[in-house]
Structure 1
Amino acid sequence: MVQAPVAPSAIVPATDLAAHAIAQIQRAGCDYGDIRVCTYRHQSLFAHDHSLGQLSDCEDSGFGVRVLWEGAWGFAASSRRTLAEVERVVALAIAIAQGSRLSQHHRIRLAPVAAYQDEYITPIAIDPFQVSVQAKADLLLTLTDRLLSYGDRGLKKAYASLRFSLEDQWFASTEGSHIHQVIYRSHAGFRGTAIANGDAQSRSYERPPLNRGYEHIDATDLLSQVDRVAEEAIAKVHAPTGPQGEPQTLILTPAHLYLTIHESVGHPTELDRVYGYEANFAGTSFATPDQLGQLQYAAPWVNFRADRTQPAGGSTRAYDDEGVPAQEWYVVKDGVLVDYLSDRETAYRLGQGGSRGCAYADSWASVPMVRIPNLGLEPGPDGGSHTATLAEMIADTDNGILIDGIGSFSIDQQRRNFQFGGDAFWKIEQGRCVGMLKDVTYQASTTQFWNAVDAIGPASAWEQQGTRFCGKGEPLQIAQMTHACVPVRVRNIQVGRV
């Protein structure tokens, strides 16, 4: 049945909707309940060659209600922001929880959290939605036109994009929290494709997705990278194929390494995957709780730290979608697995005193789940025996490959074994980059790979790289996070087909 639209005058303020929902949940006697009232705006522009190929600007608004009834979850949502609809949705969520209770094998309990009344807004200098579409389109077309100026040398296709999002959320819970958060995100990138000898190869550049305003786009930086990207795309299409079936020393830049961190450290330490609650998209995990504090995940000089407070980080906010404050903590310390990424449910099961604040839903119509926060590789200490700059790593390598940017990847259902490609590759001989390669992939197991790291970049090489498109769950949800890191060198990694 199609519902009639709600007149703007009938739309109830988020605070009133939240108060009405919480009062009804409490009257019903639920163990716990919360409501998120959300408005999202997403704007995307794509240029393809000499034209603007796509422009979208959409807004979406609604609310979602979660209740815990005798240890069972119920969730329901609606886009109709009226008091009557809140009553209907709360009743439906309770009915779903009661139905779930009949077949549930164990009672869900939640780690404690204090009540908060707070507001958080992403610090920005320029509101991206106040910048004209014309100015944005002009930037994209300038980028693609300049890339295509290399057409006589074989660069035949050019792409450029801008993406912006705004998330305005009100959260309230039966524990007394009332939290308002406004999150801005901005992202830009471009790609050129060269064609020669029956082959096509691309090279890309990104301003990584970050929680910043339009100031993050930095047209000067984008335009200054065009010539390099074009030259490297052309060199790549004429380059020889990488070595096949032999171990190599790899030097990996932050623009490449962030995805390896994401897939082989981030997802395996999501506690819902560890417990088998979530198994879509290459879940569950080999990093089981019996190995906590024992598993030598990486070399002793390797540390991975989660940080939801990181300035401009892709998952930075003041509270997660259960009202848990943002925090920072080690997941891998001195190479050992010491903690996980948790929400209140999984934290209670693990026996932790509180959640790590990793619950997130990508929509008012989505159920919060454990999502990777900003999770990064710490730089090597100044003067450390395994600390080296990128130039020093190259100079100290007799035979190896330098990899930049991301390409194809795959990883098994336990997150043990993986394969990664990249966007650009250079052969290293006798301490020098001697030319580009193409079609390079490497394979390893997670713990083998991270234990083979023998050099880590210093703090001066730290970069905020990350992804705006992490898919998880069914129905699919999308999240963003930053994996700040430094270059690393990894020894004896299998490259190419065996």
Structure 2
Amino acid sequence: MKRRDFVGLTGLATGALFLPSLPGFGHTAVDPARLLEPGADVIVKKRLADAALNAAKTAGASYADVRIGRSLNQYVFAREKQVQNIVSTESYGVGIRVLVAGCWGFASTSVVTEASLAATARAAVEIAKANRLLMKEPVQLAAQQGYGEVSWKTPLQQSAFEVPIKQKVDLLLAANAAALDAGANYINSALFQVNEQKYFASTDGSYIDQDIHRLWPTFNATAVDTKSGKFRSREALSAPVGLGFEYLTPNAAEQVRGPQGTDTVGYKLRYDMLADAALAGKQARAKLTMKSVTPGKYDLVLDPGHLGLTIHESVGHPTELDRVLGYEANYAGTSFATLEWKAKNLPYGSKEVNIVADKLQPGSVGNVGYDDEGVKTREWDIIKEGKLVNYQKIRDQAHIVGQKESDGCAYAQSWEDVQFQRMPNISLRPGKAKMSVDDMVKGVDKGIYIAGAGSFSIDQQRFNFQFGGQLFFAIEKGKITEPLEDVAYQSNTQEFWGACAGSCDQSDYRLFGTFFDGKGQPAQVSSVSHGSATTRFNGVNVINTARKV
């Protein structure tokens, strides 16, 4: 999974062509009824884990952890009036990580018996011993208390797997029909559903059972001018969520309107797919005749459904400690925000910029109780009043920055992959003063309001970038005047966040996110959300993407 697919998947621009890259493909295809069957009892999982832990210690490990994972996935794809594909998969197995004389070893197995886990643990120990030949310095693992036997489950009202496939298909086809009736010529739609059943045990004394659910409805609607051959698209304004099927139960109280004159809608923890699809068909058609933007400097008013991607690329990735240290380089670069850069106390942004990391936000796709190292998740500051104050780190990184504990952001995409540092939810705190989006627009003399995530480009140090969007509206003398097309803004991370003039209040706060953030070699994907309220940035350079240079 390439990071550029972060946007490509959102729009489903190539529909089912993404299938080979999605989590769950390559796993066992199963009857949908299998997704409702319970996994192994927690007593059985503890006995299996103890067999592995005891074998690892006997073989010479100073530390060991065991992850028993059952991953369930269902993807439903539709295009116009037909179903393209329905895929249900299951994967079940165990990953065992050990520390021997300061060196990591890892092995996994799909044969889930006590004898197999013990043998796999011993294999992990042998791998650790072999890895010592290349070790430059021993691993320093931050201390971690054992929690005993605990459990955590995604708060939800109805598991998506309990909903009949026909109901899901009917929903997608109804959304497609709504978009076609409103002006679209083509539409791809999809419903992604994931359930991770994860059991973690370690020699620290933790036995943690978690049941994690995620859901993502999305589409891409396209309108075509048959005479000119010109076409324009509009993607769904939904967000991937850590919720059940209740997310797709419309609730007017969960809708957040954009500024007057824009006809845009944001969503909190409910999503009206039919209404959004109808609006998308209308707006895709309207884009064919919209005015093309005049390049120049503008004040930007950015909707949370747009700003989340900018946060992801310009704050989320550059504050991953492994990227900062250069341990992650081949996969989309390192980071400008090095330890030396941070030591100079340089501004990351204006004093209005307060960004936090966490895996706690209800409804977010990053929401879990414990990470894949058995660390209880929490919230911590990344940027405070414009200054970089911390990074994202896990147990074997904490000592590098003089800290004694992990932030709880280790993750592996499956039981057969080793866990490593992954981005938690990275979010911009809303403003404290009461402010609506209309109030913010009133203060803008010459600007552009942008909603929805679009194309993007960022350099290998996460510094210079360019971002597009889905919907653009001109702001003149405090009012929305007309829709625009061909808009993208260019900046660098410090300059852009330094131009932040403030955010709307908590009532406008919403989540954006992705199921498929890629990182690592071999590559893994993870799910992450980014929250914010509508935010203003002054004097940002806007280009016209349709003009030839």
Q: Secondary structure at the match of 2:98?
A: strand
Q: Secondary structure at the match of 2:357?
A: strand
What does residue 370 of structure 1 align with?
421
Q: 5 Å matches for 1:231-270?
A: 231-244=282-295, 246-270=296-320
2:113 is matched with which residue: 62, 66, 82?
82
What does residue 365 of structure 2 align with?
314
Q: 5 Å matches for 1:282-361?
A: 282-292=332-342, 294-361=345-412
Q: Secondary structure at the match of 1:45?
A: strand
Q: C-alpha root-mean-square deviation of aligned residues, in Å?
A: 1.8
Superposed CA deviations along residues 145-186 of structure 1, whole A, max 9, x for unmatched, are 1211134xxx21012211111000111111111111110111
C-alpha displacement at 1:49, in angstroms?
0.5
Superposed CA deviations along residues 449-473 of structure 1, whole A, max 9, x for unmatched, are 0010113111111012211111111
Q: Secondary structure at the match of 1:362?
A: coil
Aligned residues of 2:355 and 2:381 also touching (Cα < 8 A): yes
What does residue 437 of structure 2 align with?
390
Cα distance in structure 1, aligned partners of 2:144 and 2:49:
19
What does residue 458 of structure 2 align with?
411
Cα distance in structure 1, aligned partners of 2:330 and 2:316:
15
Q: 5 Å matches for 1:143-154?
A: 143-151=175-183
C-alpha displacement at 1:398, in angstroms?
1.9
What does residue 119 of structure 1 align with?
151
Cα distance in structure 2, aligned partners of 1:180 and 1:243:
55
Cα distance in structure 1, aligned partners of 2:392 and 2:129:
29
1:57 is matched with which residue: 88, 95, 113?
88
Query: Does structure 1 residue 158 correspond to structure 2 residue 187?
Result: yes
Cα distance in structure 1, aligned partners of 2:482 and 2:281:
16
C-alpha displacement at 1:434, in angstroms?
2.1
1:201 is matched with which residue: 220, 232, 243?
232
Q: 5 Å matches for 1:68-107?
A: 68-107=99-138
Cα distance in structure 2, aligned partners of 1:44 and 1:156:
24
What does residue 328 of structure 2 align with?
278
What does residue 254 of structure 2 align with?
none
TM-score, length basis structure 1: 0.93
Query: Does structure 1 residue 128 correspond to structure 2 residue 179?
Result: no
Of 411-420 and 202-211, deviating more is: 202-211
Query: Does structure 1 residue 452 correspond to structure 2 residue 499?
Result: yes
What does residue 66 of structure 1 align with?
97
Aligned residues of 1:248 and 1:492 also touching (Cα < 8 A): yes
Q: Secondary structure at the match of 1:422?
A: strand
Cα distance in structure 2, aligned partners of 1:348 and 1:31:
18
Query: Does structure 1 residue 169 correspond to structure 2 residue 198?
Result: yes
Alignment-mate amino acid for residue 403 of structure 1: I
Alignment-mate amino acid for residue 379 of structure 2: E
Aligned residues of 1:187 and 1:217 also touching (Cα < 8 A): no
What does residue 532 of structure 2 align with?
485
Cα distance in structure 2, aligned partners of 1:160 and 1:443:
31
What does residue 18 of structure 1 align with?
49
Aligned residues of 1:166 and 1:182 also touching (Cα < 8 A): yes
Cα distance in structure 2, aligned partners of 1:422 and 1:304:
22
Cα distance in structure 1, aligned partners of 2:333 and 2:210:
30
Cα distance in structure 2, aligned partners of 1:463 and 1:447:
24
Cα distance in structure 2, aligned partners of 1:292 and 1:325:
27
Structure 2 segments unaligned to the other structure (5+ residues): 1-38, 252-271
Aligned residues of 1:188 and 1:206 also touching (Cα < 8 A): no
Aligned residues of 1:186 and 1:217 also touching (Cα < 8 A): no
Cα distance in structure 2, aligned partners of 1:295 and 1:168:
43
Aligned residues of 2:66 and 2:97 also touching (Cα < 8 A): yes
Alignment-mate amino acid for residue 80 of structure 1: V
Q: Secondary structure at the match of 2:405?
A: coil
C-alpha displacement at 1:53, in angstroms?
1.1
What does residue 5 of structure 1 align with?
none
Cα distance in structure 2, aligned partners of 1:413 and 1:460:
36
Alignment-mate amino acid for residue 270 of structure 1: E
Alignment-mate amino acid for residue 165 of structure 1: V
C-alpha displacement at 1:307, in angstroms?
2.0
Cα distance in structure 1, aligned partners of 2:113 and 2:277:
50
Cα distance in structure 2, aligned partners of 1:184 and 1:103:
39
Q: Secondary structure at the match of 1:344?
A: coil
C-alpha displacement at 1:476, in angstroms?
1.3
Superposed CA deviations along residues 32-57 of structure 1, whole A, max 9, x for unmatched, are 11110000001111110111111111
Superposed CA deviations along residues 83-129 of structure 1, whole A, max 9, x for unmatched, are 23213321221122111111111111111110012111111111111
Aligned residues of 1:291 and 1:337 also touching (Cα < 8 A): no
What does residue 4 of structure 1 align with?
none
Q: Secondary structure at the match of 1:263?
A: helix
Cα distance in structure 2, aligned partners of 1:206 and 1:166:
23
C-alpha displacement at 1:219, in angstroms?
5.2
Cα distance in structure 2, aligned partners of 1:290 and 1:437:
42
C-alpha displacement at 1:379, in angstroms?
0.7
Q: Secondary structure at the match of 1:149?
A: helix
What does residue 485 of structure 2 align with?
438
Superposed CA deviations along residues 174-199 of structure 1, whole A, max 9, x for unmatched, are 11111111101111122311112322
| 1:366–1:223 distance in 2 versus 1, CA, 3 Å | same
Structure 1 segments unaligned to the other structure (5+ residues): 1-7
Aligned residues of 1:208 and 1:466 also touching (Cα < 8 A): yes
Aligned residues of 1:46 and 1:55 also touching (Cα < 8 A): yes
Alignment-mate amino acid for residue 330 of structure 1: D
